[in-house]
Amino acid sequence: MSATNITALIGGVIILVLLLIYLGQWREKAKDARQRQLNALLDRLRLLKALATGLPPQYAAKDIRLLVVARAQEIIKELANLGHRGDHESQSEEWEVIKENIKSQADFPQLDLQNQAVMQEVRKLLKGLYKFIETQIQKGRIEKKTGVKHLLNTQFLIARSLADSHVNKAKQAQAANRLRVAIHHYHDAIEALGKIEKNPLAQKSMLIYRQRIKDLEKLATEAAQSKSEAIAEGSDRLSAQLDKMVTEEEKWKKKQSYD
pLDDT in tens, 33-47: 778 888 888 999 999
Q: What percentage of the chain exceeds 70 in pLDDT? A: 81
Indicate if the alpha-carbon torsion angle 109, 111, 117, 122 is positive or negative.
Answer: positive
* pLDDT of 5: 66
Q: Smallest Cα–Cα separation from 58: which of 191, 132, 164?
A: 164
Q: Which of 100, 80, 103 is nearest to 90 (CA)?
A: 80
- Per 3-state DSSP, the chain is made up of helix, strand and coil in percentages (nearest 5) of 85, 0, 15
Q: What integer is the mean pLDDT of 42-71?
A: 89
pLDDT of residue 94: 92
DSSP state of 61: -
118-167 confidence digits (pLDDT tens) = 888 888 999 999 999 999 999 888 888 988 988 988 988 888 888 988 89
Angstrom distance (rounded) from CA 254 to CA 258: 6
Long-range contacts of 22-28, Cβ-Cβ distance < 8 Å, separation of 24 or more: none
Which span out of 87-96, 108-117, 229-238 was modeled with the highest average pLDDT? 87-96
Report d(CA 37, CA 41) in Å as an integer: 6
How many C-beta neighbours within 10 Å does residue 67 have?
20
Task: Quote the CA–CA distance of 77 and 92 in Å, as a whole number.
Answer: 9
Higher-pLDDT residue of 248, 96: 96
* pTM of the predicted model as reported, rounded to 2 decimal places: 0.66
Q: How many CB atoms lie within 10 A of CB 149?
A: 14
Residue type, 111: L
- What pLDDT is recorded for position 245? 62
Q: Which amino acid is at 216?
A: L
Tell me which of 110-114, 116-120, 236-240 is least confident.
236-240
Average pLDDT, the chain: 82
Give the total residue count for the chain.
259
Task: Tell me what percent of the residues of the chain surpass a pLDDT of 90.
Answer: 29
Among candidate residues 88, 75, 157, 80, the one with its CA nearest the CA of residue 123: 157
Q: What is the mean pLDDT of residues 183-187?
A: 94
Note whether 130 and 153 are within 8 A (CB): no
Residue 250's pLDDT band (boundaries 50, 70, 90)? low
Q: What is the largest CA-CA distance in the chain?
A: 160
Q: What is the pLDDT of residue 170?
A: 92
Better pLDDT: 228 or 156: 156
Residue 57 binned pLDDT confidence (cut-offs 50, 70, 90): confident
pLDDT at 58: 81
Query: What CA–CA distance (Å, rounded) separates 218 from 227?
Result: 14
Residues 183 and 213 sit within 8 Å (Cβ to Cβ): yes
DSSP count for the chain of H helices, then E strands: 7, 0
- Summarize pLDDT for 73-87 with one digit per residue, the tens: 999 998 888 888 878
Q: Is the pLDDT of residue 199 over 70?
A: yes
**Where is pLDDT greater, at 208 or 112?**
208
